[in-house]
Chains A and B, each alone.
Chain A
């Protein structure tokens, strides 16, 4: 295992950066990881989200996962909550949609209307 001292240094840098920019957690992403989600590619979607945050050096977004949401036909499902805005539930977020989702919604602040799951009546 890489050294825990190295991790300690990374933590200190991250804390310093957060202190300087005054940033906390600006947005949250939740990936549905039930059996249905995994079968539809949710693991790869989440891995792509993490990779994108890493590459774009986005520091104020947390990513967590949850179980089946009962909307299996829309998997992979990803929820995004930016600041105080409403939680938005997206359907069919495969790996290919991840960069645009992050670019437009997380960075640009504009939800991807076409990908939002519309509650059926």
Chain B
């Protein structure tokens, strides 16, 4: 069993890894296809990346022999969730370049967690990491929604915090409209 009820909690957790790794840009893509019955989540960061040994440790903390470095359980949780739902999991990392995580779920699988509170999660990421850019893309079949925080930050500059109530309301309704435009 994993600790999270929603896929958006996994997403938040993996993005947090990227932020800890010094990423400046996070590219998050969710692709849903009814045709192939898949839901694919891709999270790519430009953080400091990991060497082979570290990658092994974060993916499979139970079999690693090295215990001197502290590793979390977020990646194994995500991997397990995908594999339990007839899907697959892949992580690629290169030192100095960044890390990419891809989790694929069988979309109709009875145990597949819902995406959950995506808007709330994205709002937390956008407001909570004011110096990190996020490109978010959600595709459902032919429909496509993209939010690029670089455009938003370019307008806002550094003078107004993203947690300003009017800006929060704007971001919230932007995200809600975007998600609604995807239909179901």
Contact = CB atoms under 8 A, between A and B. Distances in A.
A50 to B, nearest CB: 6
16 contacts: A2-B177, A10-B166, A11-B159, A14-B167, A25-B161, A35-B3, A35-B13, A43-B8, A43-B9, A43-B12, A46-B128, A59-B164, A62-B161, A67-B16, A67-B20, A68-B72
Contact of A43 (B120, B177, B178): B120
Contact of A1 (B4, B168, B174): B174
B178 to A, nearest CB: 7
A47 B124 contact: yes
B166 A13 contact: yes
B160 interface: yes
Interface of B: 3-4, 8-9, 12-13, 16, 19-20, 72-74, 77, 117, 120-121, 123-124, 127-130, 146-147, 151-152, 155-157, 159-161, 163-170, 172-174, 177-178
B117 A47 contact: yes
Contact of A35 (B77, B151, B157): B77
Contacts of B16: 33-35, 38, 65, 67
Contact of A65 (B128, B152, B165): B128
Contacts of A64: 127-130
A25 B27 CA distance: 30
Query: Contact residue range for chain A?
Result: 35 or more
A58 B156 contact: no
B77 A63 contact: no
B170 A43 contact: no
Contacts, number: 115
Contacts of A35: 3, 13, 16, 72-74, 77
A20 interface: no
Nearest to B75: A35
Contacts of B157: 11
A53 interface: yes
A15 interface: yes
Most buried by A among B147, B160, B173: B160
A7 B13 CA distance: 29
Interface string A1-24: 110101110110111001000000
A15 B178 contact: no
Nearest to B163: A63
Given A47-B120, A65-B128, A38 B12 contact: yes
A44 interface: yes
